[in-house]
Amino acid sequence: MPTYKAPLREYRFLLRDTFNIEQYSALPGFKDAPLDVVDQILDEAAKLAEDVLQPLNQIGDREGCKLENGVVTTPKGFKEAYKTLVEGGWPALVADPAYGGQGLPNALGVIFNEMVSSANMAFGMYPGLSHGAYSALLHHGTDEQRKTYLPKLVSGEWTGTMNLTEPQCGTDLGLLRTKAVPQADGSYKITGTKIFISAGEHDLAENILHLVLARVEGAPAGIKGISLFLVPKFLVKEDGTLGARNGVSCGALEHKMGIHGNATAVLNYDEATGWLVGEREKGMRAMFTMMNEARLGVGLQGLSQSEVAYQNALAYAKDRLQGRSLTGAKEPAKPADPIIVHPDVRRMLLDAKSFNEGARALLVWTALHGDLSHASGDAQVRETGDDMMALLTPVVKGYLTDRGFANAVESQQVYGGHGYIEENGVSQFVRDARIAMIYEGANGIQALDLVGRKLAANGGRGVFAFFKLIDDFIAANKDDKLAPFTAPLAAARKDLEAATTWFMENALQNPDNAGAGSVDYLHLFGITSVAYMWALMAKAALAKLSTGDDKAFYETKLKTARYFVERILPETATHLLRIRNGAAPLMAFSQDDF
């Protein structure tokens, strides 16, 4: 049976020692969460994740969701767990106090979400999707919409969904056909079919707010004709109570490779009543508010499965006796050594461990920049925050989910044949992690967003600011003890800059040169960013080591940093070589050549 322990010590190290969030204690949001309060919140969140959500994870996988007569039943225990979540006030954690939220920084929000997702990824998607709907309404809804719907989303009494995909229309939303017909009262009648709607129908909450992309009758074809609508499952009466059932129904649930506990619905809209959110034909703008938020949330899913898979593989590797160390028996009294003595088993574990800790730092760092982009009183800090959030979002989504999945696979490998048996639970981590590489923009799309949009934004301001952050850190930390981490970071940063320059010189004349190297570039960016995080963490660990407390923790931190530098950073060389080989090796093929 798999288990999960929230990595509370790691969170404290990041928030206190590495990012020193107390420096922001005067800012809105941060001032409501001094470190002792943060500790309490994280302790309580860990209990929720470990005691309530994790025990339901395998049950969710085995039972899945059921659709009978239009009614979707979630797996046993999910309803009670959701009630516990709502009663704990967790959906309000980072929401606006004006609507009942606690207004805490999203740097805390992503930490909470990592715990929930490690414990039960399929469950975590129900409140996760609500938060995307919350953001869209907060930023684009009318005052009345906000007043009517946000408190219910913030409390978790109602949940939300994002409705983009249709059978003929995935990445290319310009192809969508769902139509909206204006009514005399200002509402619209929405008709069409949406597929792959996560948390699309369920029994956890009394109402579901569907945010639906559709085309108003007569609007232009393509992406420019799209508007965003709010379509509640139950219409809401003037007094805020629930009225009639709206014309939206669940036509089917998908049979998926994983996340069985989450209902992935086909939703049929048949003249359902909806209201415009934001401006007509500006639906994409409003949708991107939801999606950008969701992308960090998906990135952390990759990390979350890597973390929980690692924890279980580690326990197995310490427990499983098989063979002897290559350098002589380590536990001669036992019939064999635990397999953790073998270098190759350590490789698989440390690939995950060094990623988990570095990727978590990157996630929190990115969310923190997002927080600062709103909360800081300094315009330069706000701009950098915004730039880093925009630049790193596709990196966090793509790199964390690609590597998170790969680490879950390696953790499964640690188990040998036992990893292939469903009862042992690690196969579920692999199957669940797989979706994170696909949804909210497949990772190839993230890579195109990075090279096609984010690099060029504001004349490259973001990427140059990122390089400068690294350069400034290296220049300010000429400490010999840090050199084993800053020197390789400088080398990786150089590879990343070389790749960036190559795109600038070669992609304008032929955009396929950007497309061909985009996923390599995303990984090169991810590796370099995580190496930067490891340099920051190494510095923090060295500082703490000099004070003498909890030595083992900080020494291990340095060992893990070293592992990342010596075993993961060498990948940059391959990525750069591939990028520089350009589009020709791919585009030389006619369609018939394949």
> Would you count residue 326 as binding its own copies (CB under 8 A)?
yes
Q: Which candidate in 440, 555, 566, 571 is catalytic?
A: 440
Answer whether 201's CB lies under 8 Å from 250's CB. yes
Query: Which tokens sit at 265?
Result: 């619905």
Answer whether 222's CB lies under 8 Å from 231's CB. no
> Least distance from C-beta 566 to its own copies, angstroms?
4
> Would you count residue 417 as binding its own copies (CB under 8 A)?
yes
> Least distance from C-beta 519 to its own copies, angstroms?
6
What is the distance between the alpha carbons of residues 419 and 426, in angstroms, rounded to a whole number?
6
Whether 440 sits among the annotated catalytic residues: the reply is yes
Considering only residues 261 to 320 of the shown chain, the ones binding its own copies according to CB under 8 A are 314, 318
> Would you count residue 1 as binding its own copies (CB under 8 A)?
no
What is the distance between the alpha carbons of residues 470 and 325, in angstroms, rounded to a whole number?
40
Answer whether 296's CB lies under 8 Å from 363's CB. yes
Task: Pick the piece of the chain touching its own copies (CB under 8 A) from 14-22, 107-115, 386-394, 563-571.
Answer: 563-571
> Would you count residue 175 as binding its own copies (CB under 8 A)?
yes
Answer whether 19's CB lies under 8 Å from 365's CB. yes
> Which residue has tokens 């461990």?
353
Calculate Rg over the CA atoms of the chain: 24
> Would you count residue 578 as binding its own copies (CB under 8 A)?
yes
- Size of the chain in residues: 594
**Considering Cα of 146, then 149, then 155, then 158, what sign does the dihedral take?**
negative
> Would you count residue 168 as binding its own copies (CB under 8 A)?
yes
CB atoms within 10 A of CB 79: 15
What is the distance between the alpha carbons of residues 571 and 587, in angstroms, rounded to a whole number?
25
Q: Could you tell me how far CA 353 lies from the centroid of its own chain? A: 18
> Least distance from C-beta 339 to its own copies, angstroms?
8
What is the distance between the alpha carbons of residues 583 and 138, in angstroms, rounded to a whole number?
42
> Would you count residue 68 as binding its own copies (CB under 8 A)?
no
x/- letters, 94..123, toward its own copies (CB under 8 A): ------------------------------
> Would you count residue 128 as binding its own copies (CB under 8 A)?
no
Considering only residues 387 to 406 of the shown chain, the ones binding its own copies according to CB under 8 A are 405
Task: Pick the piece of the chain touching its own copies (CB under 8 A) from 68-76, 85-93, 106-114, 347-355.
Answer: 347-355
> Least distance from C-beta 557 to its own copies, angstroms?
10
> Least distance from C-beta 333 to its own copies, angstroms?
14
Choosing from 430, 489, 496, 533, the residue that interacts with its own copies (CB under 8 A) is 430
With CB under 8 A as the rule, give the number of residues binding its own copies: 93
Considering only residues 444 to 463 of the shown chain, the ones binding its own copies according to CB under 8 A are 444, 447-448
Query: Which tokens sit at 382?
Result: 């706000």
DSSP E strands, 107-157:
none
Query: Which tokens sit at 368?
Result: 């923190």
Choosing from 212, 516, 531, 533, the residue that interacts with its own copies (CB under 8 A) is 516
Considering only residues 224 to 263 of the shown chain, the ones binding its own copies according to CB under 8 A are 254-258
3-state SS assignment for residue 5: coil
Task: Pick the piece of the chain touching its own copies (CB under 8 A) from 36-44, 201-209, 243-251, 436-444.
Answer: 436-444
Residues designated as active site: 440
